[in-house]
Structure 1
Amino acid sequence: MAGHSKWKNIQGRKNAQDSKRAKVFQKLAKEIYVAAKSGADPALNPALRLVMDKAKAANMPNDNMERAIQKAAGNQAGENYDEISYEGYGPGGVAVLVHALTDNKNRTGTNVRVAFNKNGGSLGETGSVAYMFNRKGYLVVLRENLDLSEDEFILLAIEAGAEDIITSDEAFEVFTAPADFTVVKDELEQAGLKFEAAELTMQPTLYQEVPENKRAEFDKMISILEDDDDVQEVYTNSNND
């Protein structure tokens, strides 16, 4: 089925994250904490369940997840985070969407602006690039973990409610409507499938090539944004991902 693969980009980031595992877990703990504020039982809190699944896919220890949940349940003071998004363009005109959880909007806004401005980008107004992305559920199943043929897998995913499926030599990537994500994920899990990635993501509706002479600058900007403690996700419509 048609589509643009995210998997190679995710593989590259997973390799890079191996050396930054503590920071990855810290960001996931923050997401879990925020989600658990609405209920500490993942069976009754879909948002918490989703972020816990994301944490499991990143191999976050159960103890770390439980500590974040208990911290939220304890309702300790001084742990309030705001969700905020930033939109702009990177080198070569690539759209960049940044999602953050922060207890200090001024600090986060300054860090994000500096990352853009010092690396050939420009921060835009709200809505300047968000229209180029659609919210989607995203699942990855590695072929090496699958006993089904490609046709059998595609049929199973479609029957479960998948909107789009991208195939490669290494993996199947399944995209769903946000409202269908949990249903599709549950049905595929019940069929015995295991996921290398399971999350809600932002999928570009159109893609932009990064010029070769801008690639290093673009990569540096994205790396700085992703390393920021307040930044949870960075999405781009780069065709080079």
Structure 2
Amino acid sequence: MAGHSKWANIKHRKAKQDAQKGKIFTKLGKELIVAVKQGGGDPEANPRLKAVIQKCREANMPMDNINRTIAKATGELAGVNYEEIVYEGYGPGGVAVLLNVTTDNRNRTAGEIRHLFSKHGGNLGESGCVAWMFENKGLITLNKEEVTMDGDDLMLLVLDAGAEDMKEEDDMIEIITAPEDLHKVKEVLTAQGLKPEVAELTMLPKSTVAVQGDEAVKMMKLMDLLEDHDDVQAVYANFEISDEQMEMIG
């Protein structure tokens, strides 16, 4: 079980649970602000903002909340000044971990993230220590049971739409795109009546590290805690865990 695709689906399910608690709105609000700061408040001219708005809608965030947050980011309303930081480190077994963080207090957040790493068998590293192990890509996953189209036809469809690769893994179909082609490929799939479980910009590992036993348990615990941290927007890692091991972890 490669970490990137299965973890993407685990995160998707967690996000639905967080949305019910309202927690996901806080993270999405920060993501909206950073996207606007980087590329402006017009989603048609800012692909990152357009993607975040889509995530907000999928999480059932009211449009009033979205518009108000964008207004804060553009300076139309008073708001908190957030900065985006990338943290890099190693988990149990030498797993590479990359974090996208949005915070209004860099020192507080760095201390909390360092504590989580050290408490669960890892360590926070220097800038650049693991970033080279990942590539910026678009990731789309489909539930294989919901796909009625023949596999070869689906492959031709997504490749014609601009996808770079498609492969089957367990009960999923995974489609990889260049970042700029993610939405185009997703729209083509949607037009065919296919609803992606995940459609997001991500950092995919170039290679993976297998973990098992106690290391696997610690790795999943660390990923959970990092994901749950209020300032962490995204967690990427290059671990690989067998399905049998995952069932044991629960």
Q: Does TM, normalized by the shorter one, top 0.5?
A: yes
Corresponding residue of 2:6:
8
Higher mean alpha-carbon deviation, 104-113 vs 178-187, is at 178-187
Following superposition of structure 1 onto structure 2, how do residues 132-147 of structure 1 map, counting pairs within 5 Å? 132-143=133-144, 145-147=146-148
More displaced stretch, 129-138 vs 147-156? 147-156
Deviates more, 1:56-65 or 1:229-238: 56-65
**Partner of residue 24, structure 1:** 24
Task: For structure 1, list consecutive stretches of 5 or more residues without a partner in the other structure.
Answer: none
What's the offset of the Cα at 1:137? 0.9
Runs of 4+ in structure 1 displaced over 6 angstroms?
none
Q: Which whole-Å CA distance do the structure 2 matches of 1:113 and 1:72 have between them?
A: 29
Check the 8 A contact 1:209/1:238 in 2, yes or no: yes
Question: Bigger shift: 24-33 or 3-12?
Answer: 3-12
Q: Distance in 1 between matches of 2:130 and 2:163?
A: 26
Moved more, 66-75 or 210-219: 66-75
Q: Percent identity?
A: 45
- Structure 2 matches for 1:65-84, cutoff 5 A? 65-84=66-85
Distance 1:183 1:199, change over 3 A: same
Structure 2: stretches of 5+ with no match in the other structure: 243-250
Q: How does 1:89-100 map to 2 (within 5 A)?
A: 89-100=90-101
CA deviations over 1:171-206 (Å, ceiling 9, x no partner): 422111223334433444455543322211000011
Residues paired across the two proteins, number: 239
CA drift of 1:10 comes to 3.0
TM-score, normalised via structure 1 length: 0.86
What is the one-letter code of the residue matched to 1:13? K
8 Å contact from structure 2 (residues 72, 79) kept in 1? no
Secondary structure of 1:163's counterpart equals strand
**Gap change, CA 1:198 and 1:59, over 3 Å in 2:** farther
Deviations 1:37-78 (A, max 9, x none): 443332232121011122334444434323322333453345
The 3-state SS of whatever aligns with 2:166 is strand
Structure 1 residues 58 and 175: CA distance shift in structure 2, 3 A: farther
Are the structure 2 counterparts of residues 157 and 110 from structure 1 closer, same or farther at C-alpha, using a change threshold of 3 Å?
same
Structure 1 position 120 matched with structure 2 position 121: yes
Which residue is equivalent to 2:215?
214
